[in-house]
Chains A and B, each alone.
Chain A
């Protein structure tokens, strides 16, 4: 149904981006390396997906230092959480519709 399809967020069309958003919605924040380990992707791959989500303002970055090691953490923004929830609702609605 065309109406339902427009509720799907283009930003989450990519599986990795959807997963990143899922993690950030389930946790207060998550650091780059933990994300990399969890999703089993390369540095560059992860970085590009994170950039895309940042551009949509769905996530925000917090850069700090742990002693001398740089530490980059990500958080879901309110806009991102809302978008994610809408996307989930759209998915669930599609199931309900198809079940009739």
Chain B
């Protein structure tokens, strides 16, 4: 067997193994969009809270007790955050699905296949656990932990699901986890870290992935 044939064979094995496990229709651009939605949501939250609480945003999150809690918890404050958070989430997911489908169509790929199913299944557990955890935090009034928890569970979901899509996603996941842990050290600045993790990091990674994978360069 010639040298080149052997190399071809080895690389075709690697290639098909990757193609069979990885969901490569995932759109990097949707990460950028999600980042923008998150930043807008964070700015809106920052602007709207003083209206509802008569206190400055930082005053609202002051440590009154030994545990990380919150001074003010009226219903309007509560609803604003939830509505904003859910809107950002829904918009991001919708944009993600839409752009991914569009990218798959453009590249002649099938969006719904074994790797996309595995991708969703792997990411679902940390997200579900995180979602429940955050709802309980909201209900119990431990608002100071919500931003770190969002970041950490999201990062865990990304790191787990990255096995079934672009490996780069794992690094985004790890950054989110790290950011979430740092955020726990600064309970006053939850919204800032939320904006950094869901806003800035997404725009950064989304841009990198867009230029690496989404465009019509034949190398990929």
Contacts and interface: CB of A to CB of B under 8 A. Distances in A.
Q: Do A and B bind each other?
A: yes
Contacts of B10: 88, 91-92, 95
Interface in A52-84: none
A5 B16 CA distance: 24
B158 to A, nearest CB: 21
Interface residues of B, number: 16
A26 interface: yes
A19 B12 contact: yes
Given A26-B21, A27-B114, A19 B9 contact: no
Contacts, number: 49
B3 A22 contact: no
A2 to B, nearest CB: 12
Given A23-B20, A27-B21, A38-B20, A94 B6 contact: yes
A30 B6 contact: no
Contacts of A19: 12-13, 16
A30 B20 contact: yes
A67 to B, nearest CB: 16
B219 interface: no
A71 B7 CA distance: 35
Given A25-B17, A31-B114, A38-B16, 17 more contacts: A22-B17, A22-B20, A23-B16, A26-B17, A27-B20, A27-B21, A30-B20, A30-B114, A34-B113, A34-B114, A37-B110, A39-B16, A88-B10, A94-B1, A95-B3, A95-B7, A98-B6
Given A18-B13, A92-B10, A37 B1 contact: no
A10 interface: no
Interface in B138-157: none
A98 B113 contact: no
Nearest to A23: B20
B16 A22 contact: yes
Contacts of A95: 3, 6-7, 10
Interface in B1-33: 1, 3, 6-7, 9-10, 12-13, 16-17, 19-21
B3 A98 contact: yes
Interface string B55-95: 00000000000000000000000000000000000000000
A69 B20 CA distance: 23
Contacts of B110: 37
Interface in A8-54: 8, 15, 18-19, 22-23, 25-27, 30-31, 34, 37-39
Contacts of B21: 26-27
A91 B9 contact: yes
A1 to B, nearest CB: 10
A95 B1 CA distance: 10
A13 to B, nearest CB: 10
B6 to A, nearest CB: 5
Contacts of B113: 34, 37
A88 B13 contact: yes
A8 B6 CA distance: 11
